[in-house]
Structure 1
Amino acid sequence: MTPAVAPSPSPSPTGTPLPSLDPSNLVPSWLPLLGVAVALVLLVWLTVKTVTYIRADTETRASIRQAFRIRRTWPRLARNLGLTTTDRTPTLAQQLRTSPERPKPEPRILFPKVTTTADRFGVQIRMRTIAKVGLAEVQREADHLAEAWGCTRVSVDVDKPGQLLLRAVRNEPLHTPIHYTPTGKPTKDLGVWDLGVDEYAQAVALRMANVPGAAVAGLPGYGKSSLINALIARLAPSAAVQFIVLDGKVSRADEGDYADVIDRIAEFVGDDLDAANQLFKRLVQLRRDRSSAIRRVLGTTNMWDKGPTPAWPLLVVIVDEAHTYFRDYKGNDPETKRLAALSAENARLVEDLVKKGRSVGITTLLATQKATGDAIPTFIRDVCSVALSFAQKTTDAAVAALGEDIRNWPDASPINLLDDRFVGVAVMVRQGKPGFLRVRIPYINPDRCAQVAQNCGHLTADPFQLLTKLTGPRLVTDALDDAA
């Protein structure tokens, strides 16, 4: 039997053999390699996503699933909510395909592109804006987005030009206590203090550079002292910060809320009105001495132009239970008159610190239960550009703490925080924006706080002596009362 012979390629009309029609010759040699590479990339991507999902906690897993649903349903949801635009201009490819025989291409319906990031509280959505769909249009549909995504609330803000940042909150961050564990490392920027997280679980930072003072109000047990202790623990590892504390609810340093951090406090005074008055006088004198020396020592009239240093530190003056030092004593007996005079002078001295201490690096924090005029005189309180309030019982107390504008934002009022779930939650005036912000302050273990203060105790220095080391003997010799 004669074996079959493969047919040879038929010659072309020119005599050149035609190429074989074997399908293997029609596939480029690099195509299988490309397929393998794509498969490997997909396998790595799938592995990373799977491992991330498995390692996440229960709440984060729920948010990851929610993020997937948001991406999958977004095109249809955007159309239903009218977050689309009609593009009637043909693309270049459509123009090239256009011919008399082909109909004119249909207008395209465009919707913003989104990417998602999940965390334990919800999902962050970054959205590219398009024509006629920007900040105002998306904010208008925020409530509908929250309902469609099964969220507590959705916030919309500008992330950068041409891009919005949406925050879809699945759980209520204000109901969830958070904890802060001090690292013991110095804060990079002493002009920005980490405060906690807001109602969208976003980190909140308090800008304190060039801020003359802050007023903190709230009922007992709702978080004022915890807030201040947490700030001390964050700032304590820096030698460019020194603390002076006056606590009107105790008599000695080993009592009360600041006993755990006393190793990091340069000077402490309790409820002794005479001792407080003497300390306020020394602080005002220090403020004057710094004002006289700042240009010669720092080469500027504003310490924040160069930032605090160990030689010229930021001095944080904490006046807790401030009403103790400003009480309006009533009576005609000599002792009552003497105490009334001390209180009036204390108010005048603290006014000097708050109004004039900013540029020389002195920041005053005043804390009280009810920030009415008899607790913190209005001529002091109104100069404090930062205001926070924990829970309050009355609208008048909320207005005293946060200003008249809080009446226009009833949902943010601290009278709504009278609930055990809101212990550690404060309302603050937005910095640089209208309105108010509710912030969950993290809890810090007192033992950890004490450990940080003890470890950083060697950084504590007398701020009065530090200036003398820079300038020599005291610069200002006029009597304090005469200058006042």
Structure 2
Amino acid sequence: MTLNDVGEVMGYAPVLIGAGLAGIAVWSVWWVVRYLRADAMTRQSIRQAVRVRRTWKRLAQMLKLCATDRMPTPLASLANTDGKPVKPRILVPELKVTHDAFGVIARATCLPGVGLTEFQKAAPYLADVWRMTRVSALPGDKPGQVTLRGVRVDPLITPTAHTPTGLPPEEYAQWDLGVDEYGMPVFVPLKEVPGVAVGGLPGFGKTSCVNRLVCDWAPSPVVQFVFFDGKVSHAHEGDYADLVQRAFAFCGDDLEEANELLKELVELRRARSASIRNVLGKKNMWHVGPSAEWPLIVIVIDEAHTYFRDHKGSDPATKRLAAFAAENARLTEDLVKKGRSVGFLTLLTTQKTTGDAIPTFIRDVCPVGLSFAQKTADAAVAALGDDIREWPDASPVLLQDPAYVGVAVMSQHGRPGFIRIRTPYVADEDAARVAEVTAHLVHHPARLLENLTGRTVVDLTKDDPEPPAMAA
């Protein structure tokens, strides 16, 4: 390189330095603006994220989250002219930190001897140093990574609200439940799922949880709803009064009325089973997905014990109720066990999901189970299975405090154990708004099937059927 070339390069130096300083200034302004526009909780999380990055290398060595490399690099070997041993290198996992309102999310790269197990052991100490309520260590998004989640405030005792957008969901049959105890979103896929059982004490969030699903799915023309509400007698009463106009059918606490509607749904299920191959070209609706002509039918049975409870007594009225309850259970079993492949999804809620409230031949074939607060361990086991005994810290019996209204427990998909979820509250006026603007999407699935096949599926004008035979 000649002197002229050097001079030419030096001439560009002020420009390059100026561009670098301008870039730093733009980044600084962007960072300050983002900080000032954030709410108070997010600002605190930003400060915590900065402190985590600044102290990580020192902290990692103190917690033995580092590896010692005694093999010198080629450059170090060449530079070693005095023959003394090359000083070993201390390797610290690379850490990328982001933040949200609840705390920080750090993604660490594993090293030899420093993996998921070591991070999980160090999690309590990280929580203390980072000034967090709790820190979790889970497998990362990519192999060889660990995701550290630290929450400063407990998401379980922080009430949240959900405002439905009124737009169709990006992915059908996915239930957005809320956030877990680390503030991470929880989604439950309901494709190929025949039934969901939800238990919990009155007033602890069962119906609100289901309402959120209805409000999120209502804008989609590929979903149709039917409601059974065992707490009320008429559609204008109770928790579903604001949503009823989005349903093609509604039933209150009358067992005979419920029996009639369940029979119609079973007839529809049979008709779909008989015609699915000719109409869809498949034996399973989920292989092509629901459509406006062949929608997913969501059956919500709230306070399910109303329809299935065994009535004891020898007088004619009690025997009649017992007969209806027994047949209602049989019809619901048909929908849950045989309706999955033709597009039926049944959601059952009750206070205790014990066998007297939801018969075990129905409950045990519902692969998704949630439980809000329960009073007894037996009720928790009925809702979540025997495995909940192995995880006492996650038991819904611990959720009886009013601070945990809206908090549910469910098993972790793909991992052992259970997670606790904060479900959001949906205001009645928002539910009513969504139902009103989506009411035009309501079509009776039987009529839709008749349009596809040209045959009558369910006679919706027939007289009330004869009551089932009374038990002897």
Question: Could you state the TM-score of these two structures normalised by the residue count of structure 1?
Answer: 0.91
| Contact 1:288 1:476 survives alignment (8 Å) | no
| Contact 1:214 1:386 survives alignment (8 Å) | yes
Provide the secondary structure at the position in 1 that maps to 2:342: coil
- In 1, Cα distance between equivalents of 2:226 and 2:415: 31
Aligned counterpart, 1:163: 145
2:382 to 391, 400, 411: 400
Instruction: Deviation per CA, 1:57-113: give whole Å up to 9, x if none.
Output: 1111111111111111111111111111111222232244344x4534211110101
User: 1:28 offset after TM fit, Å?
Assistant: 2.8
In the alignment, structure 1 residue 276 sits paired with structure 2 residue 258: yes
User: 1:21 offset after TM fit, Å?
Assistant: 11
Aligned counterpart, 1:140: 121
User: 1:341 offset after TM fit, Å?
Assistant: 1.4
Q: Radius of gyration: which is bigger?
A: 1
Aligned counterpart, 1:154: 135
Instruction: Deviation per CA, 1:229-279: give whole Å up to 9, x if none.
Output: 111110000000000011111111001000001110110010111111111
Instruction: Deviation per CA, 1:358-392: give whole Å up to 9, x if none.
Output: 11110000000111110000111111111111111
- In 2, Cα distance between equivalents of 1:436 and 1:451: 35
Moved more, 52-61 or 157-166: 157-166
1:84 to 48, 63, 66: 66
- The one-letter code of the counterpart of 1:273 is L
In the alignment, structure 1 residue 177 sits paired with structure 2 residue 127: no
Aligned counterpart, 1:343: 325
- The one-letter code of the counterpart of 1:260 is D
1:295 to 269, 277, 285: 277
Identity %: 56
| Contact 1:292 1:475 survives alignment (8 Å) | no
Aligned counterpart, 1:15: none
Provide the secondary structure at the position in 1 that maps to 2:301: strand
- The one-letter code of the counterpart of 1:125 is A
The structure-2 alpha-carbon separation of the partners of 1:21 and 1:182, relative to structure 1 and needing over 3 Å to count, comes to closer
- The one-letter code of the counterpart of 2:105 is Q
Moved more, 29-38 or 198-207: 29-38
Moved more, 36-45 or 236-245: 36-45
- In 2, Cα distance between equivalents of 1:118 and 1:140: 23
- The one-letter code of the counterpart of 1:269 is C
Provide the secondary structure at the position in 2 that maps to 1:151: coil
Please give the root-mean-square deviation of Cα atoms over the aligned residues, in Å: 2.1
The structure-2 alpha-carbon separation of the partners of 1:388 and 1:253, relative to structure 1 and needing over 3 Å to count, comes to same
- In 1, Cα distance between equivalents of 2:156 and 2:292: 37
- In 2, Cα distance between equivalents of 1:21 and 1:466: 85
| Contact 2:169 2:217 survives alignment (8 Å) | yes
| Contact 2:243 2:435 survives alignment (8 Å) | yes
In the alignment, structure 1 residue 362 sits paired with structure 2 residue 344: yes
Aligned counterpart, 2:464: none
- Where does structure 1 differ by over 4 angstroms across 4 or more consecutive aligned residues? 19-22, 24-27, 474-477
Unaligned runs of 5+ in 1: 1-18
1:74 to 44, 48, 56: 56
Unaligned runs of 5+ in 2: 460-467
Aligned counterpart, 1:103: 84
User: 1:443 offset after TM fit, Å?
Assistant: 0.9
Provide the secondary structure at the position in 1 that maps to 2:340: coil
| Contact 2:372 2:406 survives alignment (8 Å) | yes
- Kindly report which structure 2 residues correspond to 1:290-329, keeping only aligned pairs within 5 A, or say none: 290-329=272-311
| Contact 2:293 2:449 survives alignment (8 Å) | yes
Provide the secondary structure at the position in 1 that maps to 2:436: helix
Question: Could you state the TM-score of these two structures normalised by the residue count of structure 2?
Answer: 0.93
